[in-house]
Amino acid sequence: MTPAGKYETTIGLEVHVQLATQSKIFCGCSTRFGSSPNSQACPVCLGFPGALPVMNKEALGFAIKVGVALGCEIAGRMKFDRKHYYYPDLPKNFQISQYDLPLAAEGSLELFGDGQRRVIRIKRVHLEEDAGKLIHAEKGDASLVDFNRSGMPLLEVVSEPDITSPEEAYEYLTEVKSILRYLDVSDCNMEEGSLRCDANISIRKTGAKSLGVKTELKNMNTFRGVKIALQYEIDRQKAVLEEGGKIIQETRLWNEAKARTFLMRTKEEAFDYRYFPEPDLVPFLIDRETVESIKASLPELPQKRYERFVENYKLQPALASIIVNERDLADFFEESAKGYPRNVQLIANWITGDIQGELNKRKLSMASLGLKPEAFADMLKLIDEGVITGKIAKGLLVDMIETGSMPRELVKSLGLSQITDKGALEAVMEKVIKNNPKPVEDYKNGKTNVITFLVGQVMRETKGKANPKIINEMLRERMGKL
C-alpha cells in the first residue's frame, strides 16, 4: 500500500477573450450582443462559398495592445492558419486561428494580491474567430444555429504551467481580466461569453522531477467555477493515484450543477486539426514603430497602479489590490482623493464597503453608477464639518446615487443636518429613558455597556441625526444622576 503523500499541483490556463471591436474579425458585421438570431451575419461569417476573409485592423490593434501589456514579444510577421473540425456551429468547418506564428509570445504577468509577488509566464497570445452557437430546440429533434457570434474576434491568452493552486488560478484570471479592462479591449463578461477559460491540470508527488499526466478541463462558466472545478480535479486525481491508479490524458467537462467533471474525450479520440496556413489571408508584417507607439499609448496598468497606491497613498495592500482591480474604481478613488486628501484611507473604506455594496446591489459598474467623485468628497467633508453623522452619510450616499444631486443640497432639502442642540436632544433622551426601564435598571446595577443600546435608541428616534458623541455624554451624565 502506498502511503498517502503530499502532492503539488501544476496548472496552465487558456483564456479566450472576445475583443470589443465594432465589427467582426473578418467581415463588417456588428458585434453587438443580444440581437435576434442570425441578424448579424453575412456571406463571410456564414462561410458561404466564394466569400473571403479580410482582417479587421481594430482587432489587430487590440491584440497588439494586450500582447504588449503582458510583456510579450510581438511577432514581426504574423499569419493565420486553418484549424479543421466538423461542427454545425462552425460554418466553414474550419476555424481561422493562429498556429505556429502567434501574434505575441513569451510574456509574463505578476500576481500581487496577497502582497506576495509571483510571476506567471505567458506562453502565447493569438487571434482567432469565434464559432456560432448551437441551440437545441425544445420541441422536435432539430438543432438550431445562431451565427451572430460566428466571426467575433477572440484573443487566446495561454499561460505556461506556472500556476500552483486553484486560488492562484482565480487570482490569475482576475488579473488578466483587470488588465483587459484597463486596456479597454474587452468587457470580459463571462455571462455573455466574452471571456471563457480552459485549464490544464496535473499533480505530482512533492519534489518529483517530472510533471504528472495532465487533464484538460472545459466548460467552466465563472471564475469561481474554475476554482471549484480545479479543486475537484485535484481531489479526483489524488484519489486515483492513492488507489494505485493512473491518470489518463483526457479532456473533461465541468458540470456546475453536479459539481464534478465528466470524461469528454481521451487523447486517442482527440481531433487531428490538420493546421495549414490560411491561403486567403496574406501574412501581416507588423512594424516596430506601430508596436512602439502602442506601447507608449498604454494606460497605467493595475500592477503599477497598485504599487503607486501602496507607496503614495499608503493604502493597505489588501484594499489597494481590490480598488486597482477595477479601473473605474481606482479612477474614482484618485478623483475623490483630490477633493478629500485629508484621509484617503477613509475613501478606500467607503469604496470597498458601502459603494461596492451599492454596485453589487444594482449590478452596475462604477462608471455607470452616476456617483461623482467631487460629490462624494464633499459628503466626507460634511461629516468632518459635523453637519451630518456617519450614519446619515450612509443614507445620503444612496440618495446621491439615486438623484444625482450634490450632498449639500440633499442635506438641506431632506433636513438631514445633525442635531447638536442639547435642548432638542434632552426631550428625546427622556423619552428613551422612560420607554426602556429594564436597560436603565441594568445600568444602575453596573452594566454600563447598555449605554450603547440607549445611544442607539436615541439615534433611532432622531432618524440618525443626533450627534452620537453628544448623546453619549448627555446619557452618562443623566444616568449618573439617577
List of residues contacting another protein (CB under 8 A): 43, 46-55, 82, 84, 86, 88, 91-94, 145, 272, 274-276, 279-282
Nearer to another protein by Cβ, of 262 and 271: the residue is 271
Shortest Å distance, C-beta 2 to another protein: 36
Identify whether the C-beta of residue 20 lies closer than 8 Å to the C-beta of residue 185: yes
Q: With beta carbons less than 8 A apart as the criterion, state whether 62 and 184 touch.
A: no
Beta bridge partners of 95: 83
What is d(CA 74, CA 9) in angstroms, rounded to the nearest whole number?
A: 30
Nearer to another protein, 50 or 423 (CB): 50
Comparing CB distances to another protein, the nearer of 24 and 181 is 24
Q: How far is the CB of 251 from another protein (least distance, A)?
A: 17
- Residue 92 or residue 327: which is nearer to another protein going by CB? 92
Cell, residue 305: 497602479
Specify the residue, 207 or 279, whose C-beta has the smaller distance to another protein: 279
Q: Smaller CB distance to another protein: residue 144 or 239?
A: 144
Residue whose CB is less far from another protein, 54 or 259 = 54
CA torsion sign, 212 to 217 to 223 to 229?
negative
User: Closest distance between another protein and the C-beta of residue 281, in Å?
Assistant: 5
Distance CA 129, CA 126 (A): 10
Closest to another protein by CB, 92 or 305:
92
Say if CB 197 and CB 225 are below 8 A apart: no
CA 13 to chain centre: 16
Give me the amino acid identity at 275: Y
Would you give the distance in Å from CA 128 to the centre of its chain?
23
To the nearest whole angstrom, how small is the minimum distance from the Cβ of residue 106 to another protein?
Answer: 24
Q: Report in angstroms how near the CB of residue 94 gets to another protein at its nearest.
A: 6
User: In terms of Cα–Cα distance, which of 384, 475, 380, 481 is closest to 433?
Assistant: 475
In the complex, least distance from residue 292 CB atom to another protein, rounded to whole angstroms? 26
Smaller CB separation from another protein, 280 or 311 = 280
User: Nearer to another protein by C-beta: 144 or 211?
Assistant: 144
Nearest distance in Å: CB 142, another protein: 11
Distance CA 339, CA 337 (A): 5
Choose between 51 and 364: whose C-beta lies nearer to another protein.
51
Who's near 256: CB < 8 A, 6+ residues apart?
220, 221, 225
Output 274 or 444, the one with its CB closest to another protein.
274
Cβ closer to another protein: 279 or 415? Answer: 279
CB of 52 to another protein, least distance (A): 5
Whole-number minimum distance, CB 28 to another protein, in Å? 10
Return the C-alpha cell found at 288: 516596430
The answer to whether 409 and 366 have CB atoms below 8 angstroms apart is: no
Question: What angle, rounded to 10 degrees, do the helices at 407-414 and 390-403 form?
Answer: 110
Tell me, what amino acid is at 287?
D
Bridge partners (DSSP) of residue 198 are 14
End-to-end alpha carbon distance in the chain: 76
CB of 293 to another protein, least distance (A): 24
From the CB of 312, what's the least distance to another protein, in Å? 48
Distance CA 137, CA 123 (A): 40
Q: How far is the CB of 316 from another protein (least distance, A)?
A: 53
Count other Cβ atoms within 10 Å, centred on residue 204: 18
CB of 271 to another protein, least distance (A): 10
Whether the CB-CB separation of 149 and 155 falls below 8 Å is answered with: no
Distance, CA of 269 to CA of 341 (rounded, Å): 62
CA distance 145 to 133: 6
Spatial distance between the Cα atoms of 61 and 74, rounded to a whole number of angstroms: 12
Cβ burial, residue 435 (10 Å; 0-12/13-18/19+): exposed
The CA distance from 134 to 137, in Å, is 9
